[in-house]
Structure 1
Amino acid sequence: MSIEKILVVDDDDLSRGYLSEALQRNGYSVDNASDGQEAVSLTDKQNYDMLFLDMRMPRMGGMKVLERVKKTSKETTVVIMTAYGSIESAVEAMQKGAYDYIIKPFSVDNIELLLKRVQERQKLIDENKYWRSKLDSNVENEFVIDKQSKMFGVLNNVKRMAQSKASVLIQGESGTGKEIVAHSIYTHSQRNSKPFIKVNCAALSESLLESELFGHEKGAFTGADLKRMGRFELANGGTLLLDEISEVSPKIQAKLLRVLEQEEFERVGGVKTLKVDVRIIATTNRDLGQEIEKNNFRQDLYFRLNVIPVIVPPLRERREDIPVLAEYFLEKFKTGINTPLKRISKEAIDALVQYDWPGNVREIKNLIHRCTVMIDSEVLLSEHFENMLNVQKPRKTNELSVGQTIEDVEKELIYKTLEKTGGNKTRAAEILDVTPRTLRNKLSRYKELQSGFGLNIEAGIDDGSNVVEESFSH
């Protein structure tokens, strides 16, 4: 809640006018009251961010007004003014909730310094409230990847894009680590000493999201008992993460576009235009191109957000990261709990690598966490995943599987026989009970697979003439 609307209460017309004019010159909205009762009447009707109260006034003094205001609006900043200052009255005023106590006469410079301190204090209070509400957040703030990972391309660009104020649009499936990329951009930016504020656009209705982003005035809607700063104000000077930007309504999209273009907005129920300096990072798990074609997303907003595009690949496209992630999460989750689990078997790693991970990094993280709690074994085996994931144990090389074609079985038998004979096709043909020419014709058909076995298929065959192909099941 920034300081915007101020009430000056003083029975001295000259002093009241002097202070009011100084405040108005500094851009504040100012109301005036000539005594305590008039002040109470005004505060009952509307909300003030700050009050300057004269100590001695007819009908009701400043101390009484202070008590009344603090009962109805604890967040209002109150400064007591008096020409009859004493240590005792200053202590009493502070005990009853006054922020400061100033002695008349005072200069405009003194008032401006006081207002600066009040604004800085209020900003710290607002930021503290926000971060305290986020203490239960469980966001990983670092990447765990293999040295050959495709993610290196993304991370190598983070430092470069972090130095700009340009908007960033991070696209990727759910659970791939889009928020970690966003936080990494913030960490490496020159704004890392300023707030990093996040809002989940998919979690709130249109009206609640509008209030969360832009704030609201007191009485703007039912339940708006106090003026509230939005996320844009909290993030002023820093970075705002708009998570799942594709889920916002056309109305909110229009307001976001205005902030991106003009860096200004109004609170819900307010008329004053507020200016902000905020870097926007947006994330989405949808194809915004398709959403634009469906008229679900504004193309002009997309262009404003997509100044720097970032694509986060799914885990199935960077399987080299799966073993590293599994080991990392095992070490992380077994720490501090009484679990016998110590390591992951090679077969279990193979099973994890074969799985496609529709939930990406989040899914493997949750799986390993579940295993540290539920598995009563020192070694994590592939069998342990059977009831947790649609993961099958790796098939032994000499096993047949329902669903294989005869040609698949024949192909596998040929290559295994060649492997056993060291690539000698004449010897392999004898074992398979076919002619060398038949074997050569079949290998020509499987040519695209030869590189995976590293065999010299020309060795051991000295007759290149064509013959009628024989079947293995003659």
Structure 2
Amino acid sequence: MSVPSELPTASVLIVDDEPGMRRYLSKALGSRFAMIETAGTLDAAEALRQRLHFDLLLVDVRLPGRSGIDWHEALEAGDRRSDIIFMTAYADLDVAIRALRAGASDFIMKPFRLEQLLNAVDRCLERRRLARENFVLRRETDQLHPNREGMLGNSPAVRDVRAITERVAPTPSAVMITGESGTGKELVARDLHRLSRRLGAFVPLNCGAVAGELFESELFGHVKGAFTGAVRGREGLFTFADGGTLFLDEIAEMPLAMQAKLLRVIETKRIRPVGGEQEQPVDVRIVTATHRDLEREVAAGRFREDLLYRLNVLTIRLPALRERPEDIPLLVHHFSRQLSRELGLPPLPWQHGDLDEMVRYSWPGNVRELKNFVERCILLGRLPKDILHPPAGDRRDTDINVPLDWTLETLERHHLMTVLEAHDGNKSRAARSLGVSRKTLDRKLVAWREER
């Protein structure tokens, strides 16, 4: 008989009209589940299922009023989010076939051996674990990542980042990754998870891409009917990250009300779905990232000081690309090979002079800008030097590396477009970074477009 080696996090609802059987099953499954509820009738079971999420339903076939199979068949397809094991004392092949056709995960005969029951339960829990991992893989496939090989480079700054990442990865401590946009914060977060030996999934969330009113549901899930449009229940990202790592990118964009709820989850290690009445335990390591100065955000009243202390146990600062120019040739060759395969085009024969020019450039958009530039070069089949160099006569001898004879309007336009590119064209995030309204940003873009 197998025994779980990790703390239980799943939930089960036992439905049987015999009180003795309910007590026996509750005791037998105590080591497998963090939450166990029981019901003697299908009406009581349905009331519990409407309020709470259950990973597994353990249901007797013959119950007062109607069959457990009838109950399961009556559920809408979207509500069948729980595995179900039917139990019966009547050896009826037709009933067994009907139960399996109704979507039963397993079917066991009473009286059964404890080992038989636990094996059936463990199979269901393993299927759910695999299903959650598949969900995370599909989510990652739908997103575009700069690369997944980790942070590349041999400069002292990158070696320092790798050393501290390897040291803190096996610990459960919260880590905050800071640095300018485009420096590779998610890559470091993935390395922290990969080296942590945690068995759960790595689940990323960009806080700047979630509407404020949907934040709680996105993180904690919701039950059916919790709000308008919640036609079925849904698990949140904390559940999918159970046993693994939840990466909250752009944490400064999280609304204050949500910050308070996140703080409580960190302190209690329990979540409650929106509309639910019972909490469920979770084992999630939280890694955050931001390009903002959070101490300044705290002083401005936009970020909770107590949450900052919880999240900022250790900070890993990522260097800007201009701080490690010796890594640029390595990155150029890496991106060239990667993008050539993806685009189906031959890689460019980079010359030493080309690489020297790229090393001298400041790369305000960091590694993300460099990758976009390499892709543009491959598409054009040449090095567009006008991007790296100003028009003839320009001088780039100022601290911010722009021509001295640029007008203020030209400088503003250049900076705005650089910030917009650093945020992958996301105007809302770019506007927040620039400290202007989205309407102001749109107005300037329209005006500059009309000037062309």
Question: Which category describes the TM-score, using the shorter chain as reference length?
Answer: 0.7 to 0.9
SS at the partner of 2:292? coil
Could you tell me which amino acid in structure 2 is paired with residue 17 of structure 1? Answer: P
Deviation at 1:297, TM superposition (A): 1.0
Alignment correspondent of 1:223: 229
Q: 1:123 aligns with which of 125, 129, 151?
A: 129
Alignment correspondent of 2:37: 29
Could you tell me which amino acid in structure 2 is paired with residue 319 of structure 1? Answer: P
Q: 2:242 aligns with which of 236, 245, 260?
A: 236
Q: 1:159 aligns with which of 140, 156, 166?
A: 166
Q: 2:219 aligns with which of 202, 213, 217?
A: 213
Could you tell me which amino acid in structure 2 is paired with residue 19 of structure 1? Answer: M
Counterparts in 2 of 1:299-338, with a 5 A limit? 299-335=305-341, 337-338=343-344
Unaligned residue ranges in structure 2 (runs of 5+): 1-8, 398-452
SS at the partner of 1:101? strand
SS at the partner of 2:103? coil
Comparing 162-171 with 52-61, which one deviates more in the overlay?
A: 52-61
Counterparts in 2 of 1:434-449, with a 5 A limit? none
Larger CA Rg, structure 1 vs 2 = 1
Alignment correspondent of 1:147: 154
SS at the partner of 2:40? strand
In the alignment, is the contact (CA less than 8 A) between 1:175 and 1:359 conserved in 2? yes
Q: 2:210 aligns with which of 196, 204, 208?
A: 204
Could you tell me which amino acid in structure 2 is paired with residue 202 of structure 1? Answer: G
Could you tell me which amino acid in structure 1 is paired with residue 385 of structure 2? Answer: F
Report the number of matched residues: 381
Q: 2:183 aligns with which of 165, 173, 176?
A: 176
Q: Within 2, Cα distance between the matches of 1:254 and 1:103?
A: 48
Deviation at 1:361, TM superposition (A): 0.3
- TM-score with structure 2 setting the length: 0.75
Alignment correspondent of 2:385: 385
- TM-score with structure 1 setting the length: 0.72
The yes-or-no answer on 1:93 pairing with 2:95 is no
Q: 1:347 aligns with which of 330, 353, 369?
A: 353
In the alignment, is the contact (CA less than 8 A) between 2:358 and 2:388 conserved in 1? no
Change (3 A) 1:18 1:255: same
Change (3 A) 1:106 1:248: same
In the alignment, is the contact (CA less than 8 A) between 2:345 and 2:378 conserved in 1? yes
Could you tell me which amino acid in structure 2 is paired with residue 31 of structure 1? Answer: A
Q: Within 1, Cα distance between the matches of 2:258 and 2:180?
A: 23
SS at the partner of 2:80? coil
Change (3 A) 1:404 1:80: closer
Deviation at 1:55, TM superposition (A): 3.7
Unaligned residue ranges in structure 1 (runs of 5+): 396-400, 406-474
Alignment correspondent of 2:20: 18
Alignment correspondent of 1:188: 195
Provide the aligned C-alpha RMSD in A.
3.1
Query: Which of the pair has the greater relative contact order for Cα pairs under 8 Å at 6+ separation?
Result: 2
Q: Within 1, Cα distance between the matches of 2:170 and 2:260?
A: 27
Change (3 A) 1:157 1:367: same
Change (3 A) 1:3 1:226: farther
Could you tell me which amino acid in structure 1 is paired with residue 39 of structure 2? Answer: D
Q: Within 1, Cα distance between the matches of 2:344 and 2:127?
A: 45
The structure 1 segments of at least 4 consecutive aligned residues displaced by more than 6 Å after TM superposition are: 43-48, 402-405
